[in-house]
């Protein structure tokens, strides 16, 4: 039985309008000094690319200082703005997979390990499709009758419910990343006007990456496993402008710095979620989302250079 129309759907995003803040986010203190660093970085990017039409609404930044992991500090520029995250959403599927593994909802297997690795290291969309299906017990196919679709959608929203329970808000993490398509029930689930697309804020993304970097995501051992997949070697050069190690924040880094990340890019978005350690002992999470200027590959490193300079002065 199928439902062949893209009518308004009652099963759209859970968690997107939650009134809660990110759970451990309450432990992050907003810092006036850190805010000056973020504001200077935003200003540097807006001034450099403003002549090309780059405006405030095309940029979001969140910075979390983890130099003292017991007293993290946070500042942001449009950090609560929900934005299509492209492949950055894969961090949320990675964390959910480790929670499911910890609770026995998923079983360790060679294939699951391969899928998680390729999802983060190679940013494989096919691997992500497999992981999200495994997390939610859903798969694509022909359209479903309304009642069956509601049941399917409830299952697909499992990752949303998990993060909503942790207090994350203004996010939607229930869609697969597609280069083409989707079709069938996946297309119906997006909504007639794609209103059920994935959405993340830089604040929520920074919260998750900070928890991974400090060993607080799921368990310390699982946080280490997650971080290992994000390790980037930014030395040397790459001919691929979308190489996660060389095409994003890595362009701003110098010898002696260390870098973990998950980037995301489409024809309209270019993002990076980065954890950086400097030789002077500074440790921080820097999330930079840009929209409608995906071909401007220097925006993210411009932000990162200004942040690094500011952090080195602190």
pLDDT of residue 266 exceeding 80? yes
Q: Would you say 34 and 182 are in contact if contact means Cβ atoms under 8 Å apart? A: no
Q: Are strands 29-30 and 73-77 parallel, antiparallel or unpaired?
A: parallel
Residue 30, pLDDT score:
85
Full-model pTM: 0.92
236 vs 132, more confident: 132
pLDDT of residue 6 exceeding 60? no
In the structure encoding, which two tokens stand for residue 314, read together? Answer: 């602190």
Residue 31, pLDDT score:
87
Mean pLDDT calculated for residue range 259-274? 98
Q: Would you say 239 and 98 are in contact if contact means Cβ atoms under 8 Å apart? A: no
Rg for the chain, CA atoms, rounded: 19
Residue 314, pLDDT score:
85
Residue 103, pLDDT score:
98
Residue 14, pLDDT score:
41
Residue 7, pLDDT score:
37
Instruction: State pLDDT tens for residues 192-216.
Output: 999 999 999 999 999 999 999 999 9
pLDDT of residue 18 exceeding 60? no
Q: What DSSP designation does 270 have?
A: E
Using alpha carbons, list the distances in angstroms from residue 123 to 74, 119, 159, 259: 27, 5, 19, 17
Q: Would you say 97 and 117 are in contact if contact means Cβ atoms under 8 Å apart? A: no
- Under CATH, domain 23-313 is a member of which superfamily? DD-peptidase/beta-lactamase superfamily (3.40.710.10)
8 vs 198, more confident: 198
Interatomic CA distance for residues 45 and 304, integer angstroms: 10
Please report which residue ranges of 191-298 form alpha helices under DSSP H. Answer: 202-213, 220-230
* Span of 15-29, 33-47, 109-123, 231-245 with lowest mean pLDDT: 15-29
For the chain, the domains span 23-313
Instruction: State pLDDT tens for residues 24-39.
Output: 444 688 889 999 999 9
Interatomic CA distance for residues 145 and 185, integer angstroms: 10
Q: Would you say 144 and 152 are in contact if contact means Cβ atoms under 8 Å apart? A: yes
Mean pLDDT of the chain: 92
End-to-end CA distance of the chain: 62
pLDDT of residue 249 exceeding 70? yes
Interatomic CA distance for residues 203 and 271, integer angstroms: 13
Residue 29, pLDDT score:
87
pLDDT of residue 9 exceeding 80? no
């Amino acid at each position: 039985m199928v439902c062949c129309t893209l009518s308004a759907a009652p099963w759209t995003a859970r968690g997107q309008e939650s009134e809660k803040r990110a759970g451990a986010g309450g432990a992050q203190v907003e810092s006036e000094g850190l805010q000056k660093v973020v504001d200077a970085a935003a200003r540097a990017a807006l001034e450099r690319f403003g002549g090309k039409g780059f405006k405030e609404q095309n940029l979001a930044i969140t910075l979390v200082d983890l130099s003292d992991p017991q007293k993290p500090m946070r500042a942001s520029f449009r950090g609560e703005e929900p934005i299509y995250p492209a492949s950055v959403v894969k961090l949320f599927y990675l964390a959910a997979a480790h929670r499911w593994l910890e609770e026995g909802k998923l079983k360790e297997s060679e294939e699951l390990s391969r899928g998680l690795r390729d999802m983060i290291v190679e940013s494989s969309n096919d691997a992500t499709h497999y992981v999200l299906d495994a997390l939610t017990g859903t798969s694509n196919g022909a359209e479903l009758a309304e009642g069956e679709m509601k049941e399917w959608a409830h299952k697909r929203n499992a990752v949303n419910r998990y993060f909503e329970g942790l207090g994350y808000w203004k996010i939607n993490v229930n869609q697969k990343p597609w280069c083409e398509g989707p079709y069938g029930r996946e297309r119906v689930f997006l909504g007639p006007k794609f209103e059920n697309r994935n959405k993340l804020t830089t604040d929520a993304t920074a919260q998750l990456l900070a928890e991974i970097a400090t060993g607080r995501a799921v368990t310390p051992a699982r946080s280490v496993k997650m971080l290992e997949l994000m390790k980037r070697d930014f030395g040397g050069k790459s001919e691929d402008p979308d190489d996660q190690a060389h095409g994003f924040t890595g362009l701003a880094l110098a010898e002696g710095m260390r870098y973990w990340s998950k980037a995301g890019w489409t024809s309209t978005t270019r993002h990076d979620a980065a954890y950086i350690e400097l030789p002077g002992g500074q440790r921080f999470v820097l999330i930079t989302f840009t929209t409608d200027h995906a071909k401007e590959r220097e925006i993210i490193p411009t932000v990162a250079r200004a942040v690094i300079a500011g952090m080195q002065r602190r």
